[in-house]
Amino acid sequence: MRVTLTTDRVLNHGTLQRRGEEIDVSPEEALALIRSGQAEAVTEVIETAMDEPREEVRLTRRPKHGTSVK
């Protein structure tokens, strides 16, 4: 699971991980870091074409020329 550190972190072999750094950890370790306030979960935003049509698509649409059904 990917998390963003909110504090500096020293690993057991002396490696320093800085605040703001995104790291990959196991889900159990990620939950422990989040619960202790040392990290925040990284959420990925996936944009799709369904959210809002592109400008060029909007410009190519033509009004329908059919007659209304009564």
Per-residue pLDDT tens for 6-63? 999 998 888 899 999 999 999 999 999 999 999 999 887 776 666 565 565 555 556 6
Where exactly are the structural domains of the chain? Answer: 2-43
pLDDT at 48: 66
- Decide: 42 and 4 in contact? Cβ < 8 Å: yes
pLDDT at 28: 95
- Decide: 53 and 47 in contact? Cβ < 8 Å: no
Q: What is the CA radius of gyration of the chain?
A: 24
- Decide: 52 and 25 in contact? Cβ < 8 Å: no
Q: CA-CA distance, 32 to 42, in Å (whole number)?
A: 15
pLDDT at 21: 93
pLDDT at 67: 65
pLDDT at 43: 84
